[in-house]
């Protein structure tokens, strides 16, 4: 150890990083939490933000505020971009593209995963994923914008394509989104439009498997499928989405057969995840192996082989039996903090043992699944359990109170109070897809020129 008071650098203030930092608060170490977004996001409720129930403020909290009581913990805004494992330094990029360097005695990589388009990054322009607050706001703009645009069009195929919503991936996020769009169309928006009937909105859910929610017990998943059907979600299994365009998608059966085309102006992508780019760089610098999605192989104590001073926690930790869920990230963060404390006390480290405390998925109002060991709940009981768990883990008392109040109001009145969406943005080509700026049109023209 190079100094009397060790420096712990945590990359990422998600579930893994935050729980590690909290456990090291008031320990005799200096902790720095580096995050490219400077806030902790409660990802399990992102879809409620995207569909207008909750605000981004209710599902996130500034890391600075969250960790203010721990005087040995500093939070910094910056994206980790370069690691020098021999010198034990990390280079971070500020949003203005300038850089700074941090040194460490312990490094905790908790940078999570991002959406994977399976090598088709071009889909991202038309099909946002669901991992960040930006994604949630982008989806909100597309959803509510689609109904608004449809209202201005005469009946016909163009209007229909604005009222058709395609969701890829029938895991918890895809199921939650699909259910929420139908619920939005049939409840909150049902009586607000003059030209269109929002209830007629089609929601198409595509998945390569043979049922929704593969990680849940078949009986629960079957129940969820029935509830979605009753809501009016059209489910297509055993298929892959093989093209995403501005005005539609192509769907190919896995077992062969003719492709199908769907005209839609809103595609939401929840089909897969992969490691964030920094994780791949870190694995290379640490000479560590990774799996196909870029998760870094770790020892039993979550350290990287050959680097006892570097740990990986959360979604990025690659080890048999560790799922990509919040509970694994939280427990991993606590475990790594315990390892560091044991090192300081010159006691041996313990192995990390993940305890599966169960999982839950929201299907629709009054319906959720809850699976914890032998306990399997559906319907209203599952819904209550789901609500209780989510409130318990949301950061900040104020967020918890206001979220419960918002839920009560939306149950009573079927309304959604956070529907505001903003047009315009950074000018990036993946930004608003409808009101194209000359820059975007220029980009399309350039691409068309290349094709020609």
Ligand X SMILES: Cc1cc2nc3c(=O)[nH]c(=O)nc-3n(C[C@H](O)[C@H](O)[C@H](O)COP(=O)(O)OP(=O)(O)OC[C@H]3O[C@@H](n4cnc5c(N)ncnc54)[C@H](O)[C@@H]3O)c2cc1C
Q: Which residue has the tokens 């195929």?
A: 157
Q: Candidates 35, 105, 274, 309: give the one binding ligand X (CB under 6 A).
A: 35
Which of 146, 188, 276, 282 is close enough to bind ligand X by CB under 6 A?
276
Q: Of the candidates 27, 30, 37, 148, which one interacts with ligand X according to CB under 6 A?
A: 37
Judged by CB under 6 A, the residue of 7, 22, 36, 182 near ligand X is 36
Smaller CB distance to ligand X: residue 163 or 326? 326
Tell whether residue 9 is a contact of ligand X (CB under 6 A).
Answer: no
- Given the complex with ligand X, which of 47 and 206 has the nearer CB atom? 47
Pick from 181, 326, 339, 363: which binds ligand X (CB under 6 A)? 326
112 binds ligand X (CB under 6 A): yes
Question: Considering the rule CB under 6 A, would residue 314 count as an interface residue with ligand X?
Answer: yes
What is the contact mask toward ligand X in residues 39 to 58, using x (rule: CB under 6 A)?
A: ----xx-xx-----------
Among 13, 52, 128, 174, binds ligand X (CB under 6 A): 13
- Looking at the Cβ atoms of 200 and 327, the one nearer to ligand X is 327
> Does 14 participate in binding ligand X (rule CB under 6 A)?
yes
Looking only at residues 167 through 196 of this chain, which bind ligand X when binding is defined by CB under 6 A? 172-173
CB of 357 to ligand X, least distance (A): 9
Give the residue with the Cβ less far from ligand X, 51 or 173: 173
Residue 176 a catalytic site member: yes
Catalytic residue, candidates 66, 79, 176, 274:
176
Among 29, 80, 90, 363, binds ligand X (CB under 6 A): 80
How many residues belong to the site for ligand X (CB under 6 A)?
Answer: 34
Give the binding range for ligand X (CB under 6 A) out of 37-45, 118-126, 185-193, 416-424. 37-45
Binding of ligand X by 358 (CB under 6 A): no
Identify the sign of the CA torsion 55, 61, 62, 65. positive
Question: Is residue 131 at the binding interface for ligand X, with CB under 6 A as the rule?
Answer: yes
Which residues of the shown chain bind ligand X in the complex (CB under 6 A)? 11-17, 34-37, 43-44, 46-47, 79-80, 110-112, 130-131, 172-173, 276, 278, 314-316, 324-327, 329
User: Which residues have a catalytic role annotated?
Assistant: 176
């Amino acid at each position: 150890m190079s100094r009397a008071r060790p420096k712990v650098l945590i990359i990422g203030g998600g579930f893994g990083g935050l729980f590690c930092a909290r456990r090291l608060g008031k320990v005799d170490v200096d902790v720095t939490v580096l995050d490219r977004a400077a806030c902790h996001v409660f990802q399990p409720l992102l879809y409620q933000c995207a569909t207008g129930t909750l605000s981004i403020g209710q599902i996130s909290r500034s890391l600075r505020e969250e960790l203010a009581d721990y005087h040995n913990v500093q939070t910094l805004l910056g994206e980790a971009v370069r690691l020098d494992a021999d010198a034990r330094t990390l280079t971070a990029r500020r949003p203005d593209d300038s850089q700074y360097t941090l040194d460490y005695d312990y490094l905790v990589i908790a940078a999570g995963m991002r959406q994977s388009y399976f090598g088709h990054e071009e889909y991202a322009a038309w099909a946002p994923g669901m991992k960040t607050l930006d994604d949630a706001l982008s989806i909100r703009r597309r959803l509510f914008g689609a109904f608004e645009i449809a209202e201005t069009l005469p009946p016909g195929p163009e209007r229909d394509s604005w009222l058709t919503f395609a969701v890829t991936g029938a895991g918890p996020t895809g199921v939650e989104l699909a259910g929420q769009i139908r619920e939005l169309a049939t409840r909150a928006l049902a009586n607000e439009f003059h030209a269109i009937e929002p209830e007629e909105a089609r929601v198409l859910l595509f998945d390569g498997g043979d049922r929704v929610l593969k990680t849940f017990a078949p009986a629960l998943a079957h129940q969820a499928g029935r509830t979605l059907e009753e809501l009016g979600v059209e489910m297509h299994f055993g298929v892959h989405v093989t093209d995403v365009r501005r005005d539609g998608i192509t769907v190919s059966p896995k077992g062969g057969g003719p492709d199908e085309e769907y005209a839609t102006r809103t595609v939401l992508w929840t089909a897969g995840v992969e490691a964030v780019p920094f994780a791949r760089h870190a694995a290379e610098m640490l000479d560590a192996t990774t799996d196909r999605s870029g998760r870094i192989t770790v020892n039993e104590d979550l350290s990287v082989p050959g680097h006892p001073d570097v740990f990986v926690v959360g979604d990025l930790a690659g080890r048999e039996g560790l799922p990509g869920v919040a509970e694994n990230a939280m427990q991993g963060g606590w475990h790594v903090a315990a390892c560091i404390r044991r090192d300081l006390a010159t006691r041996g480290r313990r192995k990390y043992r993940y305890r599966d405390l169960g999982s839950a998925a929201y299907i629709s109002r009054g319906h959720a699944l809850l699976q914890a060991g032998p306990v399997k709940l559906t319907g209203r009981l599952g819904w209550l359990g789901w609500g209780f768990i989510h409130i318990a883990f949301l950061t900040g008392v104020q967020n918890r109170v206001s979220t419960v109040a918002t839920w009560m109001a939306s149950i009573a009145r079927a309304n959604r109070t956070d529907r505001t969406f903003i047009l315009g943005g950074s000018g990036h080509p993946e930004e608003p897809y409808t009101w194209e700026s000359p820059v975007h049109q220029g980009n399309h023209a350039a691409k068309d020129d290349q094709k020609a």
